[in-house]
Each structure stands twice: as C-alpha cells, then as structure tokens.
Amino acid sequence: MGRKGMRRKGSGRRTGREARARPPRDPFREDLSGSTSVLRPSHSAKACCVSQPIPSPQARRELSGGVVLWLFVAVELLTFGLFFFTFALGRRADPASFAAGQAALHPLLGMLNTCVLLTGGWLAAYGVLAHRRGQSGMTSACFGGAAASGLVFMTIKLFEYAEVLGNGVTFSTSNFWFHYLFVTGLHFLHVLAGVGFLLPTAWRAGRGAYGPEDGLTIEAVAVFWHLVDLIWVFLFPLFYLVR
C-alpha cells in the first residue's frame, strides 16, 4: 500500500483496535465541548470508553455540597437565628445599654468587613464554576483569594476586639457586650474554620488533585464559606447599624 493509501486509512474511521489504543481523554474536556453531560469520572481508558453520560447539575436538581452539609447549614442558621432573636429581646429590655454599646463600634469597619466577606463569597462561587469548567488553576486562585479575604476579615476583627477589650470591656460588662463578644466570636471561629478548609483546597486544586468526581468536595467548601457570609449579612446590620 502506498503513502496515499496509508494516509487515507489514517484519516478515516478508526478501527476497533485504534480506538482502544487511543489515549484516555481528559474527562473535563468532554464537559467543555458544548456538551450538557459529563462523563462518569475515570482516568482509565477502559472505563472512560464504557462510561455513560449523567444528567447536568441543573437537570439533577441536587443540593450543592450534598444533603448532609445542608442539614448542618440548617442547624447553624437556626442556632444563629436564636442568638439574633435573643439579641433583639435584650435590646427591647434595655435599649439604653445597647445604644451605648453600639456607639462604641465602628460601622465603617463593619461595612468594610461585609464587603471583604462578600468578595470572598463571590470568589468561592467562581472557584466552583472554574472547577466545573476544568480550570484547576483558576479554582486554586479563587479559593486562595477567598481564604485571603477571610484573613483580611479576621485582621480587621482582631483590631476591633483589641480596641474593645483595651477599653476594659468583658463578657459581663453589659448584655450588649455579652451578645457582641459571644456571637461575633462564634462567627469569627467559623471564618477561621472556613479559611482552614479553603487553603488546603486551594493548594490541592493548584496541584490538579481534584477531578470531576471531586465536585462535591469543592462545592461543600464553598457552601460552608457562603454560610459564613449568610450569618454575617444578618449580624452586621443588627449589631452595627440598627439604632
């Protein structure tokens, strides 16, 4: 067979043997090709070729991060909701003390912290999007940015705590300060935990450790970070702004 014949054979429909010998495709690539399906995760050529398409996330209508995480989110929201309600009751009982305590806070710093957290939330959401697109580097950068926003938030919050505690305020100073230190302290611990989840995830994503099968992990970390945002969105006006 001449050269022409060989080229025709190479460019034609591939034989079964050639198809089997073909190297495995990047599972992410399939999702980028305009497809609305993703392949079942596998990095082996054999499993890749027998894989079936699974429905898109929209078609599945599943909770991002999984049901167990959302039960945790529900418990957290109920707990903080109870704290916010007791804060409102305390304020109703002793408005003068609450007004005096609130006057010692810095609403501008609170607003700055809100913007920082919301920016971190946006980055985390974009990190999930990048992961679904198969952009490991972008996922890593976004999650790293979200972790950095958490660190900035904690720095500002520590500055506020230093000022408040430097003025001799303790948990027992007044009902307002008990609520402020307890609720914002608990939220601070959540931010710390969020940064603790985001940083290793960003690092591992940067090393390409997450494939399509790890979508739940990426989503769970992002949802936890959004929970931190969600709590702060109520905490900020209640403690800093409502007069």
Partner 1 sequence: MSSDSRIRKNATRKRPDSALAPDPALAPDSALAPATDPALAFAPGQEAGTRHGGRTLFVAWLALMALTVGSYALSDPARAPGASATSWLLSFAVFKSHLIAGIYMEMWHGPRVWLVLMSSFLIAEATLISIVLP
- Interface with partner 1 in residues 202-221 (CB under 8 A): 219
- Residues 116-155 within binding reach of partner 1 (CB under 8 A): 118-119, 121-122, 124-126, 129, 132-133
Of 8, 20, 21, 37, the one binding partner 1 (CB under 8 A) is 37
Q: How many CB atoms lie within 10 A of CB 173?
A: 16
Shortest spacing between CB 25 and partner 1, in angstroms: 6
> Does residue 75 interact with partner 1 by CB under 8 A?
no
Task: Pick the binder of partner 1 from 4, 5, 12, 172 (CB under 8 A).
Answer: 12
Q: Which of 46, 47, 55, 162 binds partner 1 (CB under 8 A)?
A: 55
Binding of partner 1 at residue 4 (CB under 8 A)? no
Angle, vertex CA 125, rays to CA 122 and CA 131, nearest 5: 140
Torsions phi, psi for 226 (to 5 deg) = -70, -30
How far is 82 from 88, CA to CA, in rounded Å? 10
For residue 233, give the nearest of 70, 147, 114 by alpha carbon: 114
For residue 38, give the amino acid letter. V
* By the rule CB under 8 A, 51 interacts with partner 1: yes
Residue 34 binds partner 1 (CB under 8 A): yes
Q: Does residue 16 bind partner 1 (CB under 8 A)? A: no
Spatial separation of the C-alpha atoms in residues 113 and 233, rounded to whole Å = 10
Q: C-beta of 32: minimal distance to partner 1 in Å?
A: 7
DSSP lists the bridge partners of residue 54 as: 38
